Structure formats: structure tokens, C-alpha cells
Amino acid sequence: MRTAVNVGFTTRALVSYAPRIRAVAAGMLQRLTTAPDFDLVDEFARPYALTAVLSVLGIPEEYHERCRTWSEQCLDLLLRHDLDPGHAAQCARGLREYGEFATAITAERRARPQQDLISYLLHEAPSGHQLTAEEVAAQIPALITAGHETSAQALGSTVWQQLRSAGGWQEYVSGALTTDRLVEEGLRFDTALFGMYRTTLRQVTIADTVLAPGSRLLLLYGAGNHDASRYAEPDRFLPGRTSAAPHLAFGRGIHYCIGAPLARMALGIALEELALHIPGLALVPGTRPRYRRNYPLRAVGGLRVRP
């Protein structure tokens, strides 16, 4: 199933979605150019990342707000440890509605396919494996929730780091810094998903410690991305470096992020449109990012900027 879904997220498969994602970014930024200041994360990064994922999947616009709410409820259940029973029950009801919605839209696309990823997965039998409607429906909430939250965090943190770097935003606007370099260093430096639990399948030794099969580990991708034996000056944000990729922002091996090509494309488009529409982007004096309590996401909750 993973192989089949992955085919739909290859760079080649996603090229056709780039114009609609760029249009989303441009439309949102045009509304922000006249504001005296705005929150980059809440007013651009998060709604943009969500809309980009939903556009690729083919989710109708009238469901976008509900998908945002369902995604937040899903993350609250998964990642927060301070939920009161009432809110937990509300989140659980939302999660059930999320699944019912995914089942309904999958059935609709099976009957009436469109130019979107859900239809592609249902009808094209990528990699030779024909996914069932149930298999496709099961993927939709995960792709929406995981895809847009991490992409929004990557965008917010990358812009924050570039704005406060020695070259500033003008280094990127002028063309002295390429989009690819900025994207990869942003992903490396401040990894959105900085760790994930894994289970050893066999005995393994790490730093002279013997771990038995079935041991539970927290693999810190963020720490690996600051490994001094891999990167020169790893704790400095240097988008001009030549060794930023490969990094561990999307994991590695059999658990490598399915949505990595989409995340890279969406992040690059957002940065390009930001430079085009708001070339004078700057931090509001005294601004520092707020972080949300969503372990293990390194979740930027707010960043005030001005055009």
C-alpha cells in the first residue's frame, strides 16, 4: 500500500498540481500586502499548507474549514497530554466524522473521478497494486493532517531563520540565494518533526549500549541534523552551504516521508511567492516566534511580520 501511495507523490506526478498551489499562495499573499503587519504562521503558512494539500487531494473548498478542525482535533488526541475529558470526547467525535468524510469522498471519486490524487490512487493502479476504496479512505486523514502541519511549521521556521540571518530577506529576494538551498537548509536546521518513536526488530548496539529486539526508541531527527561530524558549523543557519542535503527532516529508510516531494514543492512555491509579492518582508521589531505545545512537532505558533 505504501508503495502504491508513494507513486502518487513523486515529483513527476505532482508537477501538474504546481499551478494551482502557486495560485493559492498568490491569492493569500495579495490580501496581506496592504496589512500593516500580520502573523506569518496563522495568516499564511498554515492556511496555505492546508489548502495546498487539499487541492492536490481534490477536497472541495466547502470542506476545507472542517478538515482544518478535524486535523487539529486529531493532533490534540495524538500529541497533547493535558486534554480535559470533555475536549477529548469532542476530539474523538471529530475523528469519527473525519473518517466518515474520507469514506464518502472516496466513494464519490470512485463513481466520478476527477483530476486529483484521490482519483489517481483509486483508478490508476500505481505500482501495479490496485488500492481498494477502504485503503484510499484510510490514507486521506493522515495525508491531510501530517502533510499540512509539518509543511506549515517548515515554512514558518525557514522564513524566521532567513529574516534574522546575516543576509536577511534581501539575500533571497535578490537571487543571491536559490530556493532549493533555502528550502533544504530550512528543513535541516529546524526540523518540523524532530523525533519519532521506533521499535528495534533485532538486537542492535548504539554507543556501546546493547538494545534487545522490541526496544522502544525515540529517534531524534533534529539532533541528527545538527551532527558536527556531518555538517560544518551545524548550529548556524547557512543556506549557502553545499552539504545541507541529504538530511533527516523526512526520516530515512522504510519510514521515509511519503509526502516529501509535495512538502518540498509547496515550501519552494511559498517562498518564491513571498519574495515576489512581499520583497520588503521584515520582522515586527521585538518579534520572536511562539511555539505550540505539540510534541514531537516543533510547531511555530505565531510570527509577526510586516510587508
Per-residue pLDDT reduced to its tens digit, 46-60: 999 999 999 999 999
Distance CA 79, CA 81 (A): 7
Residues 15-36 have a mean pLDDT of 93
Strands (E), 88-215: 196-199, 204-206, 209-211
The owner of cell 538530511 is: 247
Q: Is the CB of residue 196 less than 8 Å from the CB of residue 218?
A: yes
Per-residue pLDDT reduced to its tens digit, 236-289: 999 988 665 589 999 988 888 888 999 999 999 999 999 999 999 999 998 888
**Residue 270 backbone zone (phi > 0: left; psi -120 to 50: alpha; other: beta):** alpha
Please report the pLDDT score of residue 278 as a whole number. 97
Residues 6+ positions from 196 with CB-CB distance below 8 Å:
218, 219, 221, 251, 255, 296
Q: Which three cell numbers stand for residue 229?
A: 561530524
Query: What pTM does this model have?
Result: 0.91
In 3D space, the residue among 86, 87, 42, 88 whose CA is nearest the CA of residue 68 turns out to be 42
In 3D space, the residue among 296, 265, 305 whose CA is nearest the CA of residue 149 turns out to be 296
Q: Which three cell numbers stand for residue 251?
A: 526520516
In 3D space, the residue among 45, 4, 10 whose CA is nearest the CA of residue 300 turns out to be 45
Question: Strand pairing partners for 297?
Answer: 193
